[in-house]
Amino acid sequence: MRINLKVPFAEKDQAKKLGARWDAARKIWYVEQQADMAPFANWSPVAHDGIGGDETPPQKKLSAPRQQGSGKVHVGADYVEQPKVCDCLPWDSCQKCAPMLLKNIC
């Protein structure tokens, strides 16, 4: 039976000497068919580890600071405002605004 371990990089040589192996595809240390798991107790994963793939403890997660909107529209230096030709919705086009539509450039 395979048991995944949480081995810090600084302790990888110690784990390797005890018989742990590196799974390069999953990027995790593991042991197989070990009768005595006591030497690996320091690295045994907690029951909820590995679920969801996020290995950062919740108290250590850093969130981006919330930015308040200023209500201003930010545009690039090359932005050119097109004059409004008709009263149709932006996603609709009529005969008046059809020539103003952007063409796919692919």
Per-residue model confidence as pLDDT tens digits over 59-73: 545 555 555 666 666
Assess whether pLDDT exceeds 70 at residue 74: no
At residue 4, φ and ψ (nearest 5 deg) are -75, 145
Give 40's contacts (C-beta < 8 A, 6+ positions apart).
3, 5, 15, 18, 20, 31, 34
Residue ranges per domain, the chain?
2-47
Q: Given the DSSP bridges, would you call strands 28-32 and 21-23 parallel, antiparallel or unpaired? A: antiparallel
pTM flag (> 0.85): no
pLDDT for residue 10? 93
Q: Let me know: does 41 contact 15? Beta carbons within 8 Å.
A: no
